[in-house]
Amino acid sequence: MHCCDAMDRHANVTCEDHEDPFDCPDALVQFSARFQEYGLIIHDGGRSSSIIDFCPWCGRRLPESQRDRWFDELERRGIDPWEDELPPEFEDDRWLKSDSAEPH
């Protein structure tokens, strides 16, 4: 599903010791399915990550961020992402494939 095996491994890293990748020193990349964004995890004790446009391993351009569309799509449905409960398909990348997501 990702650009290369290395990204596949890193984006799907599961650690027995750390449920949260931000707590795991071995976790380098965080993939946000809902936004289609890849971030380099900055281990400063917080939850910072730096969005990357290119894969650090194979150099390929990563998919464009869908963050703006995610918010647009929710707004179109009259859902406030900060106040309202998110429809389950907006928790991950399913909203991108749902039939109701018409192109603008």
Pair 62, 87: CB distance under 8 Å: no
Total residues contacting Zn ion (rule CB under 5 A)?
11
Select 18 or 43, whichever has its Cβ closest to Zn ion: 18
Residues of this chain, 2-21, that bind Zn ion according to CB under 5 A = 3-4, 7, 15, 17-18
How far apart are alpha carbons 90 and 34 in whole angstroms?
A: 6
Q: How far is the CB of 16 from Zn ion (least distance, A)?
A: 7
How far apart are alpha carbons 96 and 89 in whole angstroms?
A: 8
How far apart are alpha carbons 50 and 60 in whole angstroms?
A: 17
Binding mask 52-71 for Zn ion (x = CB under 5 A): ---x-xx-------------
Nearest Cα residue to 22 out of 39, 6, 38, 45 = 45
Query: Judged by CB under 5 A, does residue 40 bind Zn ion?
Result: no
Select 3 or 28, whichever has its Cβ closest to Zn ion: 3
The residues that touch Zn ion, with contacts defined as CB under 5 A, are: 3-4, 7, 15, 17-18, 24, 26, 55, 57-58
